[in-house]
Amino acid sequence: MSLLLSKVNVYGEAAKDILVNGGEIVEIKSPGAISKADKVLDCTNKVLLPGLVDLHTHLRQPGREDAETILSGARAATRGGYTAVHAMANTDPVADSAGVVEQVFGLGEDTQLVSVYPVGAVTVELAGKQLAELKAMADSKAQVRIFSDDGKCVEDSVIMRRALEYVKAFDGVIAQHAQEGRLTLNAQMNESALSSTLGLTGWPNVAEEAIVARDILLCELVNSRLHICHASTRGTVELLKRAKEKKINVTAEVTPHHLLLDEEYVKGYDPVFKVNPPLRHLDDVISLRNALAEGIIDVVATDHAPHPKEDKETEWAAAAFGMLGLENALSVVSTVMVHGQNFSWRDVARVMSEKPAEIGRKPEHGQKISEGARANLCLVDPEVEFIVNAGTSVSLSRNNPYQGMKFKGKPVATIFKGNLTYQEGGN
């Protein structure tokens, strides 16, 4: 079946007609030049981007199917304009073997909605003691290239060094959740004047930066690839900047929530704002935005972390860490970066699709929009303003920190392997 995207602004630039057929972009012509197609989408004033790629998604399956399943997470991803997600390893059982990653990969394939690429655990059971069988996961059907103990930090310097060395054999990357454990014992929020008045145990910036600094040095030592998950502090930005100036092979992601929200939201103790790493000071938020704009931070990754109601409807200290992200990530980036600072839609394509696909070594995603390219695409209404209603989510969970907030710009259709996987307001 052929699909015509008529008068679409490719990367927010000149309008074109784009014909999709057989999972590929077959023709790109001037508006009105293509007339024949089985289905036509009028894309006037819409922006076309390559399908978004998330490097950091918690799909909860296997183990916590009450919070999210691979299918419900895939649906949420299509709503957010994603055509690929990387499923984090902290499931139950942990994705630390070829068997588990193949199971997750297979369930992802079954959805036919997005590519689900499992992230493999760095260490057995995420325990930080013994390397998981990284090569077996890399060689499996899932073709794992990103390894992470996310949720936990690989704290042992020797284990981290060995992991960085070992993945060089198959062009892997270690994605580090940078959190020094002793400095963050029982931590509940950003350490600051506010944590002092709220009486909540603080998570100081240095607990992230100390690990980032060490890992950059280890990465340089063994000449491997390091990725920093959910960078959250201005000190991390400085470390990344210096590392990139020295051409060390380190990349980093920032979450939508760390780009938008600051620690002030913790006032009132609503656990929907409880997340790890915590919401930081406004100075950190501004630094992260600038770092994304300057390319010091490479990608936006959601850290989509679904939790059932009972794990969030509690006292702050008893609540789970994490927030939803897939469905609203693009709207946050559109609002904060495109409308909020000098950030183009080409930049959005870079940080939400091209670079993530490159880091994950998934060349079938994040391709330039051109004839012959895979038809993994995301269509955006750049100007529409709307109020977030968490109740309409297709995720199984409702821990959406953006409830009631007004955003400008959102995905209106998603195309995966040439098929419409999401279209706003119907099929």
Q: Which residues are catalytic?
A: 303
Which of residues 200, 212, 213, 218 is near another protein by CB under 8 A?
200
Site string for another protein, 385-414 (x = CB under 8 A): ------------------------------
Region from 44-52, 146-154, 306-314, 414-422 binding another protein, contact rule CB under 8 A: 306-314
Under a CB-based contact definition with an 8 Å cutoff, are residues 120 and 89 in contact? yes
Please list every residue from 317 through 336 that binds another protein, using CB under 8 A: 317-318
Distance CA 68, CA 59 (A): 6
- Least distance in angstroms from the C-beta of 271 to another protein: 8
Helix (H) or strand (E) holding 283: helix 282-294
Amino acid identity, position 122: V
Smallest gap from Cβ 283 to another protein, in A, equals 14
Contact status: 268 vs another protein (CB under 8 A):
yes
Distance CA(366)–CA(135), nearest Å, equals: 25
Contact region for another protein (CB under 8 A) — 112-120, 183-191, 223-231, 353-361? 183-191
**In angstroms, rounded to a whole number, what is the distance separating the alpha carbons of residues 352 and 414?**
14
Per CB under 8 A, does 193 bind another protein? yes
Nearest alpha carbon to residue 394 among 174, 52, 74? 74
Tokens in use for 356?
């993530």
H helix runs in 246-353, sequence order: 256-260, 282-294, 329-333, 345-349
- Omega before 411 within 30 of 0, i.e. cis: no
Residue of the chain from 13, 92, 264, 310 that contacts another protein (CB under 8 A): 310
The span from the CA of 235 to the CA of 205, in Å, is 7
Min dist CB 197 to another protein, Å, is 7
Determine, following the binding rule CB under 8 A, whether residue 198 of this chain makes contact with another protein.
yes
**Residue 205 contacts another protein per CB under 8 A:** no
- Give the pair of three-digit tokens for residue 409: 């710009």
Does residue number 170 form part of the binding site for another protein (CB under 8 A)? no
Q: How far is the CB of 314 from another protein (least distance, A)?
A: 6
Q: Note the residues at the interface with another protein (CB under 8 A).
A: 186, 188, 191-202, 268-269, 310, 313-318
